[in-house]
Amino acid sequence: MNNSWKHTTVLLNEAVDALFNKPQVEPGDPNAGSHSYVDATFGRGGHARLILSRLAPQGRLIAFDKDPDALAEAATLSDPRFSIRHQGFSRLGELPAASVAGVLLDLGISSPQIDNPVRGFSFRFEGPLDMRMDTTRGESVAQWLADAELDKITEVIRDYGEERFAGAIAKAIVARRQERGPISTTTELAQLVADTVKTREPGQNPATRTFQAFRIFINAELEELQQALAASLHVLAPGGRLVVISFHSLEDRIVKQFIARHSRDAYDRRAPFAAPRIMQLKALNRIKPSAAEVAANPRARSAIMRVAQRTNA
């Protein structure tokens, strides 16, 4: 791996402290770190390594990741307590019911993914317009844009990028495709958006929202997040912790609403005498990076961490 593609883990200690429900493993505590935990987004292993340092010998850490580069990084961990699955975290529900004491989801993309031009995630570097988290399967953004209908492109940019110029950008993409062929590189897309979007928030590249939209869509990120959150209720043991770090409002809204929905008793108005669905989570905390962390790692500035605990229901 190129050393310039290093990743700085956001909210590292805060996330692992929340996962374990204590700042550190206490010597002599026979139960400390003895359970199984899930790092559902291994990335470059920052959270995983700290979790392993706090696990007892009988503890286990199960990781998930779709990215082959993440799998290669995970292969450097020679710890019998650790295992990783080449799967998205939507497969979390395949673990046994009530089998883990904590689930950590660190959403978004890692710095090595952003900074490696070959991956096609960034408008700052020229590279193939790919954006797949798992480069071994599925179609790239370039392949999708080669045939996508105008209305669908507009919908994706509008809904996943919250871009008010979605229609104009989609029309420009289709016109370019008809005139000169499909867009195939990141710089081509970035320039097309810049030529189309004449106004933008100070300090933000005009292509920011479009790139976000295509990445979220091509990887089905929001759908996978919803599946993983639902699965967390199945795999968490009573008292187990759910810790989720989000980096944009679409993700955080889903997490916030999920925790809120399952943190109260639910009554079916169509069956007023039926027993309510008992709350399954207790909302605990909302944490943002400190000013010092943001100063040291500007990519942390938009992070929000939400913590909830599985009830006995």
- Predicted model pTM: 0.89
pLDDT at 3 over 60: no
Q: How far apart are CA 152 and CA 288, in angstroms?
A: 34
Summarised one tens digit per residue, pLDDT across range 19-68 is 998 644 444 344 556 799 999 999 988 999 999 999 999 999 999 999 99
Within 10 angstroms of residue 223's Cβ, the number of other Cβ atoms is: 13
Cα–Cα distance measured from residue 304 to residue 246, given in angstroms and rounded to the nearest whole number? 5
Query: What three-state secondary structure class fits 189?
Result: helix
Q: What dihedral do alpha carbons 173, 175, 181, 183 form, nearest 10°?
A: -10
Residues facing 103 on adjacent strands: 38, 242
Query: What are the φ/ψ torsions at residue 89 (nearest 5 degrees)?
Result: -75, -5
Return the pLDDT at 54.
93
The per-residue pLDDT for range 74-116, each reduced to its tens digit, is: 999 999 999 999 999 999 999 999 999 999 999 978 878 888 8
CATH 1.10.150.170 segments of the chain: 135-218
Per-residue pLDDT, 70: 92
All CATH 3.40.50.150 domain ranges of the chain, comma separated, are: 3-111+221-310
CATH for 3-111+221-310, among 3.90.199.10, 3.30.200.210, 3.40.50.150, 3.40.190.80?
3.40.50.150
Q: What is the pLDDT of residue 30?
A: 43
- For position 17, what pLDDT does the model report? 95
- Domain 135-218: give its CATH superfamily: Putative methyltransferase TM0872, insert domain (1.10.150.170)
